[in-house]
Amino acid sequence: MLASASADNTVKLWDSTTGKEIKTLTGHTNSVYGISFSPDGKMLASASADSTVKLWDTSTGKEIKTLTGHTSGILGISFSPDGKMLASASGDSTVKLWDTSTGKEIKTLIGHTDPVNGISFSPNGKMLASASADNTVKLWRLDFDYLLQQGCSFMREYYKVNPPDNESDKHLCDGVGNS
């Protein structure tokens, strides 16, 4: 199966063997700029100028969820290698990370000063690259275990000179990295 995005606000699914159209997915209210299949091929994400991402069931063509939060058109979309996360690149100069099972926003990545045109996960899913009209490519570290360890390391150092207000805060990072 193949998919195509279109300025007529639709996504089309195609039989890759015959070249024939299988389904037309409707629901966006403006041009569709990007599409991405989940790694297992069961879901398709579409990014639109209507500032939404839609998740589709590829077997039925039914809309699963609409993800909202960007304030400008979405120019790029990419599934993480494990399919659990989706990244969207927008004209609002941000990248958003989404949980594909819930449709909830995980995080907004801020750092570009112009529209973000493209987005891609590394093969292991621990890095994300975003390309922007500000003439930069940013690499975002998504290794959450590493980030947690870095944060806990900072807190351990901080607590050496600034004791926590309550006892339970002393144990926030127990079991994370070097205790």
Per-residue pLDDT of 137-154, as tens digits, reads: 999 988 777 667 777 888
Q: Domain residue spans in the chain?
A: 2-142, 144-179
> In the predicted model, what is the mean pLDDT of the chain?
92
- Other C-beta atoms closer than 10 Å to the C-beta of 29 total 11
Strand 2-5 and strand 127-132: pairing? Answer: unpaired
Tokens of 61: 């063509």
Residue in the structure block whose two tokens are 């569709």: 32
Decide which of 3.30.70.120, 2.130.10.10, 3.40.50.280, 3.30.930.10 is the CATH code for 2-142: 2.130.10.10
pTM of the entire structure? 0.81
